[in-house]
Amino acid sequence: MLRAMTETLETTLKSLLDDVRARGVESISLDELAACLETARVDTGEIAWLIEALEREGVEVESPPSEARMHLQVVLRAARTLRARSGRSPSPEELAAETGLPPDAVRGALFLGQVLGR
């Protein structure tokens, strides 16, 4: 299992590096990183590994705009409320309904929360 995850992370890293180099840029946003990982189950340690590997390769991982941080605050507040109400962690769809944010913004905020927790 560990070997498969390592291979997946290395494949993701290679894909990200190829994309950055093909575009001729020296940075990637957290949104772009999240888009590459959208279906992968990764933990904060794996996200940290990817960010550190990108930075070792000379690719800057850009901080999110202040709007993303505001979304994170709104999503976290809603998550606490919904968790208290239902006794379980809410889904991204439930958070979107509670906050009025688009599902993509909720997923981005959750990803940002993972990254900031590293």
- The answer to pTM > 0.75 is no
Distances in Å between the Cα of 93 and the Cα atoms of 5, 58, 86, 88, 89 are 27, 36, 15, 14, 12
Alpha carbon distance 62, 33 (integer Å): 10
**Minimum mean pLDDT range among 6-10, 23-27, 73-77, 107-111:** 6-10
One domain for residues 78 and 40: no
Residue-wise pLDDT for 67-100, tens only, equals: 888 899 999 999 999 999 999 999 999 999 999 9
Domain extent, residue 109, equals 66-116
One domain for residues 53 and 82: no
